[in-house]
Amino acid sequence: MSKDVIILAIESSCDETSMAIVKNGHDILSLTISSQIKTHANFGGVVPEIASRMHTENITFVLEETLKKFKGTIADIDAIAVTYAPGLLGSLLVGIECAKALSLVYNKPLIAVNHTMGHIYANNIENKITYPTLALVVSGGHTDLLILKSENEMQLLGSSIDDSIGEVYDKVARVLGMTYPGGPNIEKAAVKGEDTYKLPKPMQDDSYNFSFSGLKSYIVNLVHNEKQRGNEIRKDDLAKSFQIAAVDEIVRKVTLAIKNTGIKHFVLAGGVSANKYLREELSKVCNQNNVKFHVPNILYCTDNAAMIGCAAYPLYKEKKFADFSLNAKSSENIKLYIEKNK
Amino acid sequence: MNTLLIDTHADFIFLAIYQNQEIKYKKESKEKKDHSTICMPLLIELLSESKLNINQIDDIIVVNGPGSFTGVRIGVTIAKIIAYTMNIPIRTITSLELYLNELTKDYQYIALEEKNGFYVGNLINNQIKNYEYIKRNEWEKWNKNKKIFLCQNINYNNICSFAKQKKPINPHLVNPFYVKKIEAEK
């Protein structure tokens, strides 16, 4: 039997400072998540400079907590992994420089992990990804549909050509006067509402790409115009109609991919996968087509370092190590990422 | 005794190892690249030229600002992680304190110029108190009738002995000293 691989992983791409120790790409030995969400809620969204400052203040505390929960010693750790893209530059940099310093002091190789890959590999925590599988990443920065052919090989089918699904949820929530973070509040309102608003269907094509900006603008204008006319907005109803329009579009593209590829497994990943309606609708369409539906526990859907440790494992096995000139990237085209790692 | 100095507060990076409070090895970068791509590789070069392993560093001095927010965060993060993991003393000095050696006669204030204004400190008994930030458009009005020392050249030679007069800080509590508030907080 080969030796266990234990990775210390760091995630600081947005407003969570998180570290984890992960064995063999799926076994969480220790996990700490320090969320700044309450601070940012006061400003109606994540303020990048505040996020960077809080990461710097939190980083050694999170490290201490993570090492305390770990039963082993530093000698048992094989590598240090860190998110380098995509995310807020200043925030990413705190995690990156921390990882480099740990790599130097502990004399362990450094692994650079793409945050989106982390969301996908979070699916290995409670189950094991079966290849090939279709994967949908939905988050504040992403709406990507991919085929995972094997542990190291993937193909991008389509992405959002404008706003990500998470951004649109937050924007619509803001327009409706709901507090940050918008997604969960839209969902709560939608449960109480009726689908009475007629909204445009996002993209009427057969590509695997998504587009949500038209739907977003329509709602922004609708609310604005109704206000000017002195008409009341039925917030719960609009939340419901919006959610149906947005999720329908995602479900339609996923169904298309299921039918065209014949792949029998589907994984959902990213922060927006915490959305119950999206989960239910995707699970339904998977069942109808005899496709096995997988989604991580909600804890591993939102930003956390455990998923970064999972995604670092295949990179460790291929000895894809980063050097100390590693820099943060605010965005990384997933297509280029796939090319680069072929 | 090997003391590591990390200074990333400006558009250059300066790293040094002091032995007996004197600079023994130093590395400087004035490259117009991101600090994140330069700082750690420069530290590796410094260690290798001085034939020291990181574990032979006995204590750390880090310049914690004010200056470039991102620059300071990079230096401070590296410094506090090394100090925390190796359990060695860490001390901070401010960017304005770097210039105290050059102070010649009686001044009331010390000022460090940056892109949009000045970081200033009140000089009391050769110590800097009450830091504040003065925007460029308010500078002329502010500096009237004040004896102000304008920071220009840093002499790193005496920095180690200066910093050693201070007490070490718990690495958890070593943080950047921004002085400037950010837009959202105003």
ipTM of the shown complex: 0.97
Size of interface A-B (CB pairs under 8 A): 95
Which domain CATH number covers B174?
Answer: 3.30.420.40
Residue B78: give the domain boundaries.
2-185
Whether A97 and B36 lie within 8 Å, measured CB to CB: yes
Flag whether residue A57 sits within 8 Å of chain B, measured between CB atoms: yes
How many of the other CB atoms lie within 10 Å of CB of A337? 17
The predicted-structure confidence for B88-143, as pLDDT tens digits, reads as follows: 999 999 999 999 988 877 899 999 999 999 999 999 988 999 999 999 999 999 99
A6-122+300-340 and A131-295 share one CATH topology?
A: yes
B171, closest residue in chain A (CA to CA): A60
With beta carbons under 8 A apart, name residues in chain A contacting B65: none
Mean pLDDT of A30-45: 90
Of A14, A45, A31, which is closest to residue A296 (Cα–Cα)? A31
Contacts B40 to A, Cβ<8 Å: 97, 100-101, 104, 324-325
Contact A298/B at CB under 8 A: no
Q: How many domains does chain B have?
A: 1
Q: Which residues of B fall within a CB distance of 8 Å from A328?
A: 36
CA atoms within 13 Å, Cβ hemisphere of A329: 15
- For residues B70 and B34, what is the distance between their CA atoms, to the nearest angstrom? 10
Average pLDDT of chain A, as a whole number: 94
Q: Which CATH superfamily is domain A131-295 in?
A: ATPase, nucleotide binding domain (3.30.420.40)
CATH superfamily membership of A6-122+300-340: ATPase, nucleotide binding domain (3.30.420.40)
Say yes or no: A45 contacts chain B, CB-CB below 8 A.
no
Query: pLDDT, tens digit, for every residue of A319-335?
Result: 999 999 999 999 887 77
Domain boundaries, chain A: 6-122+300-340, 131-295
Whether residue A104 and residue B176 make contact (CB cut-off 8 A), yes or no, is: no
- pLDDT tens digits along B48-90: 999 999 999 999 999 999 999 999 999 999 999 999 999 999 9
Q: Which residue of B has its CA nearest to A67?
A: B85
Q: For residue range A221-256, what is the model confidence (pLDDT) as tens digits? A: 999 999 999 999 999 999 999 999 999 999 999 999
Q: Measured on CA atoms in the order A328, A329, A332, A338, is the torsion positive or negative?
A: negative
pLDDT confidence bin for A201, thresholds 50/70/90: confident
pTM (predicted TM-score): 0.94
Please tell me the predicted confidence (pLDDT) of residue A96. Answer: 98
Residues A105, A95: Cα–Cα separation, whole Å: 15
3-state secondary structure of A21: strand
Q: Is A17 in contact with A99 (CB distance < 8 Å)?
A: no
Contact B76 A56 (CB under 8 A): yes
Q: Token match 């990943």: residue? A: A269
**Contact at CB, A93 and B73, closer than 8 angstroms:** yes
**Which residues of chain A does B86 touch, with a Cβ-Cβ cutoff of 8 Å?**
105
pLDDT exceeds cutoff 70 at A1: no
Nearest chain A residue to B40, by CA: A324
Of all residues in chain A, the percent with pLDDT exceeding 90 is: 84
Q: Which residues contact B14 (CB under 8 A, 6 or more apart)?
A: B5, B7, B26, B27, B28, B154, B156
Q: How many C-beta neighbours within 10 Å does residue A151 have?
A: 15
pLDDT of residue A208: 95
Inter-chain CB proximity A323 and B85 less than 8 Å:
no
Cβ separation A60–B171 shorter than 8 A:
yes
pLDDT, position A333: 77
pLDDT for B99 equals: 94
The closest CB to that of B84, out of A57, A60, A89, belongs to A60
